Chain A
Amino acid sequence: SQTIHQWPATLVQPVGSPLSLECTVEGTSNPNLYWYRQAAGRGLQLLFYSVGIGQISSEVPQNLSASRPQDRQFILSSKKLLLSDSGFYLCAWSGQTRSGELFFGEGSRLTVL
């Protein structure tokens, strides 16, 4: 069966420090991969998605970047965190189906101080 893991689960970082959140999927190949952010009262915001290795699409301009170095690995990064980067980050994957059904990781809580 397919599983998705992301880490770390919780992170407290000072403003201006770098960030790396990692997500891996097991039990499937060539998944579509996604990073979402939940900020208080703002619902789910799609940040990045990837349909293959090295292929990254950004939905909104921001202080973050994403990379996909391997088929089932997706990384969210920042060189210098801002206070506004605080939130709950969710990684998700979907298969090559028309429904677009998403399977989510456990989430990473980032607090920037």
Chain B
Amino acid sequence: AQSVTQLGSHVSVSEGALVLLRCNYSSSVPPYLFWYVQYPNQGLQLLLKYTTGATLVKGINGFEAEFKKSETSFHLTKPSAHMSDAAEYFCAVTRSGAGSYQLTFGKGTKLSVIP
């Protein structure tokens, strides 16, 4: 069964510092992997996704993630944090269900950016 582990429920960084949010997954088949961002009282918005091809995936707002099969990881990074990056981030992996493909989500990491 597919599962997702996000290390650290809360991460704080200074404005301008590197952002690193960790995600490890387990999957019995080649995975499709996603990062979503959620701002307070809003729905989730897709940041980036890995399906096939290049293992370094670039997303919106300067974020990127690298799929590392040997480490079963899909960590999210951004070179320089901005105040507007403060939000909750969810990593997800695809699993197959009855009649559809579904996402299994991690528990989320809340990112705080300190001025």
The residues of A with any CB-CB pair to B shorter than 8 Å are: 32, 34, 42-44, 46, 49, 51, 55, 57, 88, 90, 92, 94, 97-107, 109
Contact = CB atoms under 8 A, between A and B. Distances in A.
Q: B-side binding surface: helix, strand, loop or mixed? A: strand
B34 to A, nearest CB: 7
Nearest to B99: A51
Given A51-B99, A97-B101, A100-B103, A107 B43 contact: yes
Nearest to A102: B103
12 contacts: A43-B90, A43-B107, A49-B100, A51-B99, A51-B100, A55-B99, A97-B101, A99-B32, A100-B94, A100-B103, A104-B43, A107-B41
A17 B32 CA distance: 41
Contact of A98 (B94, B98, B105, B107): B94
Q: A-side binding surface: helix, strand, loop or mixed? A: strand
A109 B43 contact: no
B90 to A, nearest CB: 7
B45 interface: yes
Nearest to B49: A101
A61 B37 CA distance: 28
Contacts of B108: 43-44
Given A101-B46, A102-B44, A44 B101 contact: no
B51 interface: yes
